[in-house]
Structure 1
Amino acid sequence: MEIILQPWPWYVTGPLITFVMLLLFYFGKSFGMSSNLRTLCSIGGAGKYADFFKFDWKAQRWNLVVVLGAILGGFIAVNFLSDGSNIALSPETINDLETMGFHNAGAAILPPEIYDWSAVFTVKGMSVLIIAGFLVGFGTRYAGGCTSGHAISGLSNLQKPSLVAVIGFFIGGLIMTHFILPLIFKAS
Structure 2
Amino acid sequence: MDFILQPWPWYVSGPLIALVMFLLVFFGKTFGMSSNLRTLCSIGGAGKYADFFKFDWKSQKWNLTVVLGAMIGGFIAVTFLSDNSVMDLSPQTVNDLKEIGFSNAGESLLPPEIYEWKNVLSLKGLAILVIGGFLVGFGTRYAGGCTSGHAITGLSNLQLPSLIAVIGFFIGGLLMTHFLLPLIFGA
Q: What range describes the TM-score normalised by the shorter chain of this pair?
A: over 0.9
TM-score normalised per structure 1 = 0.96
Q: CA RMSD in A?
A: 1.0
2:2 counterpart of 1:3:
yes
TM-score normalised per structure 2 = 0.97
In the other structure, the counterpart of 1:62 is: 62
2:176 counterpart of 1:163:
no
Structure 1 Cα separation of the partners of residues 142 and 115 of structure 2: 27
Task: Tell which deviates more after alignment, 57-66 or 77-86.
Answer: 77-86
In the other structure, the counterpart of 1:93 is: 93
Letter in 1 for 2:56: D
How far 1:123 sits from its partner (Å)?
0.2
Structure 1 Cα separation of the partners of residues 178 and 17 of structure 2: 30
Structure 1 Cα separation of the partners of residues 154 and 75 of structure 2: 27
State, as a whole percentage, how many aligned pairs show the same letter. Answer: 75
In the other structure, the counterpart of 2:129 is: 129
Query: Which aligned runs of 4 or more in structure 1 are off by greater than 3 angstroms?
Result: none
In the other structure, the counterpart of 2:144 is: 144
Structure 2 Cα separation of the partners of residues 158 and 143 of structure 1: 16
How far 1:19 sits from its partner (Å)?
0.3
Structure 1: runs of 5+ lacking an equivalent: none
In the other structure, the counterpart of 2:41 is: 41
Structure 2 Cα separation of the partners of residues 77 and 117 of structure 1: 25
Please give the secondary structure, in 2, of the residue aligned with 1:103: coil
Letter in 2 for 1:129: L
How far 1:3 sits from its partner (Å)?
3.4
In the other structure, the counterpart of 1:113 is: 113
Aligned length: 186
